Chain A
Amino acid sequence: MALTWRAVVLAALGVVPVALVPVPGTALLWTLVVLAVCGVDAGLAASPRSVAVSRTAPGSVRLTDQARSVLTVTNAGGRRLRGLVRDAWQPSAGAGANRHAVDLPPGESRRLTTVLVPTRRGDRTADRVTIRSYGPLGLAARQASLTVPSVLRVLPEFASRRHLPSRLARLRELDGRAAVQVRGQGTEFDSLREYVIGDDVRSIDWRATARRSEVVVRTWRPERDRRVLLVLDTSRTAAARVDDAPRLDASIEAALLLSALATRAGDRVELVAYDRRLRARVAGANGPRLMPAVADALAPLEPALVETDWPGIVALVRERLSQRSLVVLLSALEPATVESGLLRVVGQLTDDHVVVLASVRDPEVAELRTGRGDAAEVFDAAAAERGELERVAVAARLRRRGVEIVDALPEDLAPQLADRYLALKAAGRL
């Protein structure tokens, strides 16, 4: 039961009889009139429970893209339905204009489209569909909320994909497909071809040259079919906000760019998200199936407020990988947590694999370091410097254990991690 502005007008019209017969009884009588008319009007409204509703929403949409939630409303009752339908979603699903006026004769259907512009990654669920059915006079309405479940998976934005073309170009240079040869020590022998001026004389194959009339050089290509394992740390350090987004989001961007790059480079990419237990895993997907699988696995990840179980991660890595691989740990370079966790077990990883630790640096700390305004700011600057020194120290200890460190601001992490991957590949260390 709900009233409309017309009911207010009807109540206000009671001023006329009150003016004619100015006793309190008139007002009370008019109250009864208003109640009766509104009751009859609501009683004559079509039942909102005799309306069939179904919702169609796309399974997933990338953050910042639009999605359309379509409600199909069918009047299954015997009365004409004049009303208002609200397609409720979580606020972060970004359902803007979600109230639709409907006028449905019995038996007919309408499609009501609500445009969703999600504002957060993850699974956004639909709430109830509320139908308000007005009576013939439009004074009062009946209302019911129907549960029509629906989930929209909002995939990570992958804003770092703008860095992909330049990195792919660098990859082609490595690959021998481009004009310039970039050669590393650990690359694989590809083919023999004629020497042209500008080639490295050290790459001349003298034995082949002796058999033929012209000078022949060996060409190389980077190793392929290496394995890359991305480990996302979803523990409490991933929950802290950097630049108004959780650290995890920057890690996800970096993971997406590296996955895209590595799969184009012909490597096999696996991904796990872990804190004290496995949160997500992508394995066995290659080529064009990889990126959708990675995005889908990363979309619903939320940081858990627990400490990372580093021995568990090491056990997981050893279980997944048998040959030498690239292990990328997307975590935080927090001196306290690294010292008590990662440093103790990282040796077991670096013995068998190439390990890269990618960490999000906080631009706010860099800002604090330059504060000289008053005593409080200088103390903050000193604290920031101390924290930075500790980060440098713990990074140095990790490097001594053989861990590569990528420590970058949120928007730089993805390209820098990709560059580090390319550098490792060029150096043939994979």
Chain B
Amino acid sequence: MVLGDGTTTAGRARSRWRRWRLLVVIALIATTVALAAALPEPQTSTVALAPDNPSDGGARAVAQILERQGVDIAYVRSSAEATAAATAGTTLLVTGSALLFGDQVDAIAATEADLVLLDPDDFLLGAVTDAATVAAVAPRDPGPAGTPAAPPLVARCDDPDAVAAGSIVASGAGYVARTDAATVCFPGSDPEVGAYLVVDERGRRVTAIGDATVLTNAHLAEEGHAALVLRALGRHDQLVWYVPSSVDFGQAPASGPGLTDLLPPWAGALALQLLLVAAVAAVWRARRLGPLVTEPLPVTVRAAETTRGRGRLYRRSRSYGHAAAALRAAAASRSAARVGLPASAGAAAVIDALARATGRSTDDVAALLYGPPPTDDAGLALLARRLDDLESEVHRS
């Protein structure tokens, strides 16, 4: 008579804890990691001129100042997002033009937003406006390393932003006005070529700054950079900050609604519910009625394995001689016993007796039983069959 399995509630709890504690610890760690990942944290990047890059080459300083002033910054990396967000009444900042393809440039030019272009090349500037072009020479030559830098450029125009900035240190490209719609500021030695360009046409304002470094954290505080940049970018409440990416080729995203848009609104809740049903069904089927019972099994090696192994050895080493000798010896001993010869009888006696019993010639029997060994598979098979014939003749006689 057995009553209970000898455990107590506390003992079972302890053993369950021992069994599950590893899983519990792993689940806790996973939950903690997931929570930590889900927490909003200040994210930074190392992308040049990005609004979340706090290093020297980044532009987080400008972005933070703008946000504090109430400008809403949308940071995008693809031209599709940029053109989608750049509607009329917003500012679109394009931080470079080297990574842009033709259709991306066209898309940017076709937006109705005010444009702020940093160091645009001919291609981009030409697509955006016909009122100005990129000059062949820079307005300010930084000179070779070690020599004293050229003095800062002074506004020398009537654009209020440029006048507010006063002077900048810009070593990039210069721009030449073609029509009256364009205003060129901060000229260098050539008064026609300036580092700052403003074009007002068709209700849109296009600003080009020849040197992108005016925006960076490192140089924002120099001269009048901050004033120039903040006035250019802070013109509207919405700023689309587009940093071109090398992995964006300008293809439009898949059109039409996504799969999740096609599902009815209750689909998510139903899926969750079905997940619960599946989990309960899994627990229902998974629980065994008692542990598995093991069976000590006997050896399963067949006794004929050794014989087969020997056969394979003969075959692999192509031992036709050994195989033929075995077949011949067995046939000879069985036939000799059949015709009444003692086991110790010699070859000549066996040949004579078998020749008499089968009516074959002694040469035939001798060649069959004591001839040269076969040299190939076919010869061996033939020998085996002929030995069978001989035996059957002996047995018939």
Q: Hey, which bits of chain A sit against chain B, CB under 8 A?
A: 1-5, 7-8, 10-12, 14-15, 18-19, 22-24, 26-28, 30-31, 34, 49-54, 76, 84, 86, 88-92, 99, 120, 127-130, 132, 143-148, 239-242, 246-247, 302-303, 305, 362, 364-365, 368-369, 372, 374-376, 378-389, 392, 396
Contacts and interface: CB of A to CB of B under 8 A. Distances in A.
B190 interface: no
Contact of B290 (A127, A368, A379, A385): A127
Contact of B329 (A92, A120, A146, A385): A385
Contacts of B381: 372, 374-375, 378
A21 B203 CA distance: 51
19 contacts: A2-B283, A2-B287, A8-B281, A11-B277, A27-B276, A50-B4, A76-B3, A88-B290, A88-B293, A129-B290, A146-B5, A239-B299, A242-B302, A246-B298, A246-B299, A364-B302, A380-B311, A382-B384, A387-B310
Contacts of B3: 49-53, 76
A389 B298 contact: no
Interface in B7-43: 7
B323 A382 contact: yes
A120 B298 CA distance: 10
B325 to A, nearest CB: 8
B42 to A, nearest CB: 30
B377 interface: yes
Interface stretch (B146-154, B181-189, B266-274): B266-274
Given A379-B315, A381-B311, 12 more contacts: A7-B284, A26-B273, A27-B276, A34-B280, A50-B3, A54-B2, A89-B293, A90-B293, A143-B289, A374-B381, A382-B311, A384-B307
Nearest to B283: A3
A3 B283 CA distance: 7
Contacts of B360: none
The 3 closest A-B pairs by CB, nearest first: A22-B266, A130-B290, A380-B311
Contact of B384 (A30, A381, A386): A381
A49 to B, nearest CB: 4
B313 to A, nearest CB: 8
Given A22-B266, A240-B303, A376 B311 contact: yes
Interface residues of B, number: 61
Contact of B272 (A28, A130, A362): A28
A127 B291 contact: yes
Main secondary structure of the interface of B (DSSP, over half): helix
B330 interface: yes
A241 B142 CA distance: 95
B5 A3 contact: no
Contacts of B314: 379, 382-383
A242 B293 CA distance: 27
A343 B77 CA distance: 91
B380 interface: yes
B302 to A, nearest CB: 5
A49 B7 contact: yes
Contact of A49 (B4, B295, B322): B4
A364 B380 CA distance: 22
B308 interface: yes
B262 interface: no
Contacts of A4: 284
A53 B311 contact: no
B152 to A, nearest CB: 60
Given A54-B1, A88-B290, A383-B314, A362 B384 contact: no
Contact of A372 (B290, B313, B324, B385): B385
B133 to A, nearest CB: 58
Contacts of B300: 241
A120 B300 CA distance: 14
A375 B388 contact: no
A390 to B, nearest CB: 10
A382 B324 contact: yes
B303 A31 contact: no
Contacts of B6: 147
Contact of A86 (B290, B308, B384): B290
Most chain-B Cβ atoms within 10 A of its Cβ — which of A3, A5, A129, A369? A3
Contact of B333 (A5, A239, A389): A389
A389 B388 contact: no
A8 B295 contact: no
Contacts of B7: 49
Given A242-B303, A383-B314, A385-B330, A368 B308 contact: yes
Interface in B286-342: 287, 289-291, 293-295, 298-308, 310-315, 322-324, 326-327, 329-330, 333
Contacts of B277: 8, 11-12, 14
A368 B273 contact: no
B302 A379 contact: no
A251 B231 CA distance: 106
